[in-house]
Structure 1
Amino acid sequence: MLKGLSITPPVVGRISIGRVVEKNGKRLPEKDDQFTLTTQVQTRDGWMLHPLNETLRKASTGKLRAIPVRMLFNDPDLNLRADYSLFDRDTGRPVCVGNGETCMRATRDGIRQQPCASPDGCSFGQQGGCKPYARLNVTVGDDDELGSFILRTTSYNSIRTLAARLHYFNAVSGGLLACLPLELKLRGKSTTQSYRSAIYYVDLGLRTGSTLEDAIGEARELDQRRRAAGFAQAALDAAARLGFANGAFEDGPEESAVVAEEFYPVADGDRGPIAGVAQKDGLAQKEPAGATQTTATIEAVRPTLRDQLERKAALGGQAA
C-alpha cells in the first residue's frame, strides 16, 4: 500500500441538495429542497446526472426526498467520517484536520500532529474558518456493491443526526449495520438563525413501509446469506480502517476542486458552503466581517499550489 495516501471507498457518484450556478460570470451557491444524484463528471453546465437520479425520481411521488441505501461497513465511523476541517480558501487543500483532541496540521516543516481545541477554542481555526465537515458513503442500487455515492456536508443538523442514527441502528441490530435496508431522508425545520424560513438537513431512517423488527429480520437473513457465500464483513471493515489511517488527510488533489468550489465558493468577497453539498444547516454562510482569510502557516503551504493553478490557467484550464 502506498504510504501517505488515504485509501477511501471507491466513489461512483455524488449526492447533493445544492449546486453551483453561474450568474453574471460568477459561480454562486444555490440551495435546493431535494436530493440530486450525479456522476463524477463535471461540464461547463455542472455535474452530469447519474442514471439512478432519473430512476429514483420516477419512483418517487414528487420531489426526490428519500433514497434507499445500504451502508458499506458495520462500524458507523467508517461510513460517516466527521472532523473539524480548515481548508485553503484558494485551492481547497486541507490545512488542518482534527477531532477535538488532536489534529494533523500542514506547517512549514511538513504535517505535524498538534492538540485540537475545536473551532471555538482555537485561534488558528478561527482565523482560517475551521468548521465541522463530514463525508458519508452509501451504496445505492445493486450494480456495484462495493461502489458508493458520497454526500459531503458541514451541516450541524445533518452530522449530528446521521452520527446518532448510524450508532443507534448498529446497536439495535446487533452490529449488522451494513445489512440493514435504510433510507436517506431530507427533512425540513425552521430556526431563529434561518429567520423562520425552512432549512433542510439529511436524516437516516428505515425504508418506507418497514418496521424496525422487519428491518432487523431482513438484516439477519442477508448476513446469513453473505456468510454462507464467504463474504467477510469484519475483514472489509478492517481493510477500510487501515486505508483511512494510511494518510494524514482524506481529501486528496482530485477532491480539492470540489472542496474549493462547494465548501468555500466565492461571491463578491463573501465565502460560505453550499446547502447540502458542504452546508451549515442548509444555508450559505457569510464570512464574519474582518475575518482573516489566511494565516502565516497557510501562506507557507500555498505557493506550490498557487503556481500549479497559475500554470493551468495559462494553458486555458480552469482553476481547481
Structure 2
Amino acid sequence: MAIKNLVPRLAERGKVKIGERGEVKTSQQGKQFSQPKKLDHFVVTTMQRDAAGRMLPDLELMRKLAPQGGKLKELPVMLLYNDPDINFQTRYACYIGNRLWCCGDGESAQRLEQDGKYQPVPCPCLRLEASYTGKDKCKPNGTLQVLLQGVDRIGGVWKFRTTSWNSVNSIMSSLKLIQAITGGVLAGIPLKLVLSPKTVTIPGTGQNMIVYVVSLEFPGTEQELAKIGYDIAKRRADHKAKMDLIEAEARKALEHLEETPEEMREVQEEFYPEGVTIEVQPEEVLKSEPDPRQEPLAEPIPEASPPVPGEKPEAPTEISSSPEPLPGEEAVPVSWDAPHPPPQPLPNPKANKGVKVSAPPPPPPPGEMAEEGKPTLF
C-alpha cells in the first residue's frame, strides 16, 4: 500500500552560494536586517546551521573540489534532466513579511489575498519595473539543481538560487546553447558551473560596476560536446520512453511544488533582506517572587557600632525565638515539637500604600544631640 497523490521531490544534500550574511543595518522603518555580502567565489554548504542560523560550509567537500586550495571559481556539475525548465526553475517572486506574496511567469501570477488564498492576477506588474523604488520589489528567481562530480555518494542534489537578472539569463542561455549542440541532451554531460566577473552599467546613473555572473560551460570544444551528446543519446535510445516518463513526473512535481517556511525564510534573508526583521530577544529580568512554600526570611541583624571612647559599651541585645505579641494579643509559647504554622508570604512594600503611618517622634530637646552612628533614645 502506498500514499496516493504523493508528489516526491528531490532530496537536497546542500547548497551552492555566492553570498553570505553581512552586517546588521537599520531600515527607514526602524527595522534591523542583515545586508547580504556578495562573494567572488562559490561556497558549498551542508544542510546544517550554526547558532546564528548560518549554513555550515562543507569544508571536506570543498577541499575535494579544490585540491590545490584557493577559492572555488568553478564547480564540476552534471544535470539530471534534458528539459532546461526542469533543471533550472525560474519565476518572478515578491515576498512580504514572512510569506510569498506573489509569484508569476511573466503572463499570469498567483497573489495571496486577505482570505489566505492565492488568486490569479496579471503579470508583470509595476513592482517588476526598474523604475520601481518602493518596498517589496518583485525580482526574478532561479533555482538550479545539479549533481556535484567527484562525490562518491548519490542520493540528492545541490541547489543554487539567484535573483540576479544576469545570472538567470546566463544560465538559461547556456542550457539552450548546450542543448542545441548536443541535439537535445543535457542529462549526464559533464559541465562546469562558473563564476566570472562582468562590467555592467547601473540604470539611471550611467555608472559602471563589476558584478559576478554564474553560467554553465562545457570544458571542451564544440565537436567534443556534440560527440558526447551523440554517445549519450545512442546509449539511452532504448530508454527514451523511460526518460520521458521521468521528466513527466518531474514536471508534475514542479506544478505542485511549495516552499517550506525554512526555504521562504532562507530566500528572504539572502535576496529580500529589507523585508526581513531580525528578532532580538530581550533579556529576561528575573524578579524574585515570594514562594509560599518557604519560611519568611529573617531581617539581617545590624552590626553594632564601635564604642565611643569614654563610654561603656552597650550589652548585646538578646534575641527571642518567639515574636513579641501585638497590643491586645496574648503571647503564644513556641513549641519546637508542635507543627509549624503555615508560612506567610514575604511582605510586599506596595501593600502599605494607603495605610496611615504614625508621625515620627519629636526631635531631641535643645542641648541634646544624637551621637553619630547610634540611635537616639527618647
The answer to whether the superposition gives a TM-score over 0.5 is yes
Distance 1:158 1:108, change over 3 A: same
CA distance in 2, matches of 1:121, 1:260: 20
CA distance in 1, matches of 2:242, 2:135: 45
What do you get for the CA RMSD once the two structures are aligned?
3.6
The SS at the match of 1:162 is helix
Q: Does the Cα contact within 8 Å between 2:167 and 2:213 map onto a contact in 1?
A: yes
Q: Please tell me whether residue 44 in structure 1 is matched to residue 51 in structure 2.
A: yes
Residue of structure 2 equivalent to 1:252: 260
5 Å-filtered alignment, 1:63-142, equals 63-88=71-96, 90-91=97-98, 93-109=99-115, 110-118=117-125, 119-120=127-128, 128-141=136-149, 142=151
Query: Bigger shift: 185-194 or 123-132?
Result: 123-132
Distance 1:102 1:23, change over 3 A: closer
Distance 1:122 1:161, change over 3 A: closer
Cα offset for 1:75?
0.5
Structure 2 unaligned residues grouped into runs of 5+: 26-31, 285-378
Normalised TM-score (structure 2): 0.62
Letter in 2 for 1:85: A
Distance 1:103 1:144, change over 3 A: farther
Letter in 2 for 1:112: Q
Query: Bigger shift: 103-112 or 43-52?
Result: 43-52
Q: Please tell me whether residue 169 in structure 1 is matched to residue 178 in structure 2.
A: yes
Residue of structure 2 equivalent to 1:235: 245
Distance 1:35 1:189, change over 3 A: same
Q: Does the Cα contact within 8 Å between 1:180 and 1:216 map onto a contact in 2?
A: no
Residue of structure 2 equivalent to 1:203: 215
Residue of structure 2 equivalent to 1:279: none
More helix by share: 1
Letter in 1 for 2:18: I
CA distance in 1, matches of 2:108, 2:130: 12
CA distance in 2, matches of 1:166, 1:231: 22
Q: Please tell me whether residue 158 in structure 1 is matched to residue 189 in structure 2.
A: no
CA distance in 1, matches of 2:33, 2:196: 30
Residue of structure 1 equivalent to 2:299: none
CA distance in 2, matches of 1:224, 1:148: 26
CA distance in 2, matches of 1:31, 1:124: 23
Letter in 1 for 2:177: Y
Q: Does the Cα contact within 8 Å between 1:105 and 1:114 map onto a contact in 2?
A: yes
Cα offset for 1:225?
4.2
How big is each residue's C-alpha offset from its partner over 1:126-185, in whole Å with a ceiling of 9 and x where there is no partner?
Answer: 653111111111111244556211111111110011111111211221111113221111
Structure 1 unaligned residues grouped into runs of 5+: 266-270, 272-292, 295-305
Cα offset for 1:97?
0.3
Residue of structure 2 equivalent to 1:299: none
* Bigger RCO of structures 1 and 2 (CA < 8 A, at least 6 apart): 1
Give aligned pairs, total.
267
Q: Please tell me whether residue 20 in structure 1 is matched to residue 21 in structure 2.
A: yes
Q: Does the Cα contact within 8 Å between 1:79 and 1:136 map onto a contact in 2?
A: yes
Who wins on radius of gyration, i.e. which is larger? Answer: 2
CA distance in 2, matches of 1:151, 1:225: 29
Cα offset for 1:243?
0.5
Distance 1:135 1:6, change over 3 A: farther
Distance 1:134 1:140, change over 3 A: same
CA distance in 1, matches of 2:268, 2:87: 23
Letter in 1 for 2:139: K
CA distance in 1, matches of 2:193, 2:233: 21
Identity of aligned residues (%): 30
Distance 1:23 1:96, change over 3 A: closer
CA distance in 2, matches of 1:22, 1:14: 22
Q: Please tell me whether residue 183 in structure 1 is matched to residue 189 in structure 2.
A: no
Q: Does the Cα contact within 8 Å between 2:183 and 2:230 map onto a contact in 1?
A: no
